[in-house]
Structure 1
Amino acid sequence: MMSSLQLSDGTVVVLDETSLEPGQVGTEGVTNLAALNSLMSLQKVPYDFGFYKMDFEVDHPTISLSARGSVVPAGAVVPVVVDACGGTSSGSEDQALLARLRIYLEATRRTELSLDDKSSALAEEDFVKARQQGQAVTGEDFHRMLTIARLTALSLGDEAMTASHWSHMKDLEARVAARVQQLASGATTGGRRTAAGGGVPAAAAAAPAAGATPISPGGQAGPLNAIPENE
């Protein structure tokens, strides 16, 4: 039987959790949630052949949209601020933009990225300093930060991650943390959850991109299960 997750590599999976309501999850639902968890956290899809089960590695960038907390794990959680005053464009302009975006995304996904010794040392130093200061930074956090820094470099068309990319990643992390705190504050006080720029933010959970294999402090590729490979 054809599975909803039986897709070609590179297919983006978007999970819409915005309409979920409290209720009971049956046996089939639990199995489906387990499959989604495997997809998000390991980039593996389980197959049940009746006589035996087997996991297959996939390349499915996955995004989960939720108005509250997500029911599936994620490598990154970002409160999204919706701009209600966004402009509109004609259909032809939209198609032209989509065509350019597809070329851009394909090019960045296929770009090989290197990590020099200076950038690696800076990342390690930041990680050690954070641990010494008592911050709750885990090895998985470190892998995720390196992944985002590498994605930053790739998004700019660069072939090497530098200190500027690492600094930009830290700025992004601070901005996300500020949004998360603002969202939590709005929920606590019972007020309307809004953020700068207007609009009610929704949480977008994503797994990092296939071109962003986790890098260990020594510059080698980290384990596949250290952080999801797709975003």
Structure 2
Amino acid sequence: MEQGRLDATGVNNVAALGNMIMTQKVEYDFKYYKMEFDSDVSVLVLSEGKSLLPSDYHVPLRPEESSLQIFNAIIEAATYYLKEDIMNIIRIYLTSLKLVKYTISEDIQFVEDDFIEMRSNSDEDNPVTADDLHRLLVLARLVSLSRGFDTLDKECWEITKKMEAERLNRIKNRVASTI
């Protein structure tokens, strides 16, 4: 989407997209009645600023200074190489990760220990909650599967915690730099 004004149809469409992203339901208007249908749509929102669309994860990009100098060439190369067949391979890979059987073994005491430590080290302005644990477990699943494992091990858990700490740090620094 480009910057500008949304008319009533645009507002309704953005609301419908937001609803689909958050609930995985799409409402159809059959003129005389409306009906919701379940969907299973993965959404990636790219935005230069705050997006109109909701998302579970915000990952501020932090390009290296040298990359900024050749940004236009990078975009041109990506446009050239990421043809439809390559994009379809990426889509198949991402979809297949959702379908891989993944198990969490009984032997994940390290997760429980880390969560207890995170909660005890958190402050009341920024408490660590069960939602934070859930988010880490979801990310750990994706990290594990991306590395070819069908169960969580300590190394993938540590990588996940590091990635999440970096993401949260970027968000904090981004907010601090806009104040």
TM score, norm. by length of structure 2 = 0.75
SS of alignment partner, residue 37 of structure 2: strand
**Compared CA separation, residues 185 and 105, structure 1 to 2 (3 A):** same
Q: Are 1:162 and 2:153 an aligned pair?
A: yes
1:123 to 96, 105, 111: 111
AA aligned opposite 1:78: V
Relative to structure 1, is the Cα distance of residues 102 and 30 closer, same or farther in structure 2, using a 3 angstrom cutoff?
A: closer
> What SS does the corresponding residue of 1:152 show, helix, strand or coil?
helix
Counterpart AA for 1:111: V
**1:125 partner amino acid:** D
Which letter does structure 1 place at the counterpart of 2:147? Answer: L
Task: Name stretches of at least 5 consecutive residues in structure 2 with no aligned partner.
Answer: none
* AA aligned opposite 1:20: Q
**Superposition RMSD in Å:** 3.0
Q: Which structure has more strand as a fraction of its residues?
A: 1
Q: Which among 145, 151, 154 is matched to residue 136 of structure 2?
A: 145
Identity of aligned residues (%): 29
1:10-21 aligned at under 5 Å gives the runs: 16=1, 19-21=2-4
Q: Cα distance 1:125–1:88, how it changes in 2: closer, same or farther (>3 A)?
A: same
Contact in 2 for aligned 1:46/1:54 (Cα 8 Å): yes
Q: Which has the higher contact order (CA 8 A, sep 6+)?
A: 1
Match of 2:27, SS state, is: strand
Query: Partner of 1:69 in structure 2?
Result: 50
Q: 1:70 to 1:137 in 2, by over 3 A?
A: farther
Structure 2 counterpart of 1:186: 177
Normalising by structure 1, report the TM-score.
Answer: 0.60
Aligned to 1:43: 24
Contact 1:38 1:44 in 2 (8 A): yes
Give me the whole-angstrom Cα distance separating, in 2, the residues matched to 1:32 and 1:102: 24
CA distance in 1, matches of 2:17, 2:88: 30
Q: In structure 2, what residue type is equivalent to 1:128?
A: I
Equivalences for residues 200-215 of structure 1 within 5 A: none
CA distance in structure 1 between the partners assigned to 2:95 and 2:47 by the alignment: 27
Deviations 1:11-56 (A, max 9, x none): xxxxx4xx334x5x55434432331222121222122223332222
Which one has a larger percent helix, Structure 1 or Structure 2?
2
Q: Which runs of 5+ in 1 are unaligned?
A: 1-15, 189-231
> Aligned match of 1:54 in 29, 35, 43?
35
